[in-house]
Amino acid sequence: MEEPKKTSRRRSKVNDYICHCCRKKFPYCLNCPCGFQICETCFRENLWGISNGPTWVCPDCGRVRMTF
């Protein structure tokens, strides 16, 4: 008799964000639906490149996102 494989889909709730720039964990990061996450510190450092006031552009997918 074969034992039915139990595929337990354990969805561990991730409460932490990991910045894609500095790879550190944060309680909050600016994020994009594509999965891109960036912390406020890195965001400010890259502001000139991705942000234009109240919005920022995801460097991964090019989506325009609102700042906070």
Binding residues for Zn ion (CB under 5 A): 19, 21-22, 32, 34, 36, 39, 42, 58, 60-61, 63
Residue 54 Cβ vs Zn ion, minimum distance, rounded to whole Å:
17
Tell me the C-alpha distance between 35 and 29, whole Å. 11
Report the alpha-carbon distance of residue 59 to residue 29 in Å, rounded: 15
* Two tokens, residue 55: 């919005």
Q: Which is nearer to Zn ion, 9 or 60 (CB)?
A: 60
Do 51 and 45 touch, CB atoms closer than 8 A? Answer: no
| Closer CB to Zn ion, 4 or 27, in the complex | 27
Residue 4 vs 49, nearer CB to Zn ion: 49
